[in-house]
Amino acid sequence: MAIDDEIHFVAGTPIGPAGSWDYSAVTAMSLRSVPEIFLGDQQSILRGDQYRLWLRWFFEGLVSPLAIARNAALERLDVYAVVLKRIELLYPMVDSPRRRDLTEKITDHIFAEVERIRLSVARDFADKATKLALLAERTPPRCYICGFAFSKGAQDAFLRVKGREAVRLPKLVDVFRPRLLDRDISIEIEHVVPVAAGGHGLDNLRLACGWCNKHKSSKVSLYEASHVPPKIPGFHVGAHQIHELPHPFWTIRILALRGQCRHSAGCDRTAKTAELFISLLDWQGSPNPMNLTVFCQEHDPIAADRFHAASKVAELWGERR
Ligand SMILES: [Zn+2]
Ligand SMILES: [Zn+2]
């Protein structure tokens, strides 16, 4: 029976502190495969992100992108030279052209990260024509991750319109997406493919809300984030009591990769046509990546309950306003 594997896996896999400090227990666990059914709807993201984190640690273990980024004198060739030394040590028997090929490909990844860090210092780099073209792509213009529609005020600020009115922060805020600061509702530009990795042109640029963009930051994997403990114990979202908050990175990663309402009867609303919201599949459980899903406003089971006064949401997250 299919469930026998699951029983065996659960019984023999300690997740508490005892097993986690025992090397042989950890090794035994690493040799088994996790029952597919446990991984649920986000299975491919969960698996893919594990590999991404391993690769990231491997690359960063060769050369620290932060160290390179901070020294303006260092260039791609410097990264290449360091990586090549390590590859030669790891593959002493392999011929030089193939070692150089692998080194090139690893260097591309590391230097793209270096460029990203260097660019993140200067976020607002596009000229006015580019900004206008990006705003004109859809009406209203929306965050490409969450579908949030940008206000007129945010558009004026983005275009640096003279004599514009101050951007007004919303009074009601989604408890799972605390947009509390001017930046959170502002418009930012993102490179889909880093410049260093060959990303150029209008097709390579997307508009993101400041909230999504700041939490996307430099993380590449769900495993780089964890729950956030709410600062108000026993907070209610409708009938549900909230004991943990989903990490903003989990929220935007699942929104960005799913990009569409997950209503069981099917729904074709995407971030291009509607704002999308993060919700829990099972409200008895923790809001971790396996238990998060995406809805449009119409299909959102907590549509009437997720918006709370900004001051309350700020308190819940322990954020200043
Ligand atoms: Zn957004
Ligand atoms: Zn829907």
DSSP notation for 120-133: HTS-----HHHHHH
* 301 and 242 within one domain: yes
- Which residue, 186, 212, 238, sits at the end of a domain? 212
**What's the 192 CA to ligand 2 centre distance in angstroms?**
26
Is the pLDDT at 146 greater than 70? The verdict is yes
* 113 and 96 within one domain: yes
Residue 141 inside a domain? The answer is yes
Residue 207 inside a domain? The answer is yes
Predicted pLDDT at 68 = 93
Sign of CA dihedral 307, 312, 314, 315: negative
**What's the 275 CA to ligand 1 centre distance in angstroms?**
9
Ligand nearest to the Cα of 265, by number: 2
Taking the alpha carbons at both ends of the chain, their separation in whole angstroms is 55
**What's the 245 CA to ligand 2 centre distance in angstroms?**
23
Residue 133 inside a domain? The answer is yes
* 133 and 113 within one domain: no
Residue 250 inside a domain? The answer is yes
**What's the 262 CA to ligand 2 centre distance in angstroms?**
7
Name the pTM for this structure.
0.82
* 62 and 92 within one domain: yes
* 275 and 226 within one domain: yes
Dist. CA 304–CA 298, nearest whole Å? 10
**What's the 79 CA to ligand 2 centre distance in angstroms?**
46
**What's the 280 CA to ligand 2 centre distance in angstroms?**
15
Which residues does residue 307 pair with via DSSP β-bridges, in sequence order? 174
**What's the 86 CA to ligand 1 centre distance in angstroms?**
40
* 202 and 239 within one domain: no
Dist. CA 177–CA 163, nearest whole Å? 30
Predicted pLDDT at 198 = 63
Q: What mean pLDDT do residues 116-121 have?
A: 74
Residue 232 inside a domain? The answer is yes
Is the pLDDT at 214 greater than 80? The verdict is yes
Q: What mean pLDDT do residues 84-89 have?
A: 96
* 291 and 237 within one domain: yes
* 168 and 202 within one domain: yes
Rg for the chain, CA atoms, rounded: 23
The overall average pLDDT reported for the chain is: 90
Predicted pLDDT at 165 = 81
pLDDT tens, residue by residue, 157-201: 999 998 888 888 999 999 999 999 999 999 999 877 766 556 667
Domain count, the chain: 3
Instruction: Note down the domain range covering 305.
Output: 222-317
Predicted pLDDT at 120 = 66
* 54 and 132 within one domain: no
* 278 and 296 within one domain: yes
**What's the 248 CA to ligand 1 centre distance in angstroms?**
11
**What's the 146 CA to ligand 2 centre distance in angstroms?**
13
Sign of CA dihedral 63, 65, 69, 75: positive
**What's the 252 CA to ligand 1 centre distance in angstroms?**
8
Q: What mean pLDDT do residues 230-252 have?
A: 93
For residue 1, name the pLDDT band (cuts at 50, 70, 90): low
**What's the 279 CA to ligand 2 centre distance in angstroms?**
12
- Which residue, 193, 212, 231, sits at the end of a domain? 212
- Which residue, 148, 181, 212, sits at the end of a domain? 212
Q: What share of the chain is helix, strand, coil (3-state, %, to 5)?
A: 45, 10, 40
**What's the 296 CA to ligand 2 centre distance in angstroms?**
4
* 77 and 53 within one domain: yes
**What's the 69 CA to ligand 2 centre distance in angstroms?**
42
**What's the 261 CA to ligand 2 centre distance in angstroms?**
5
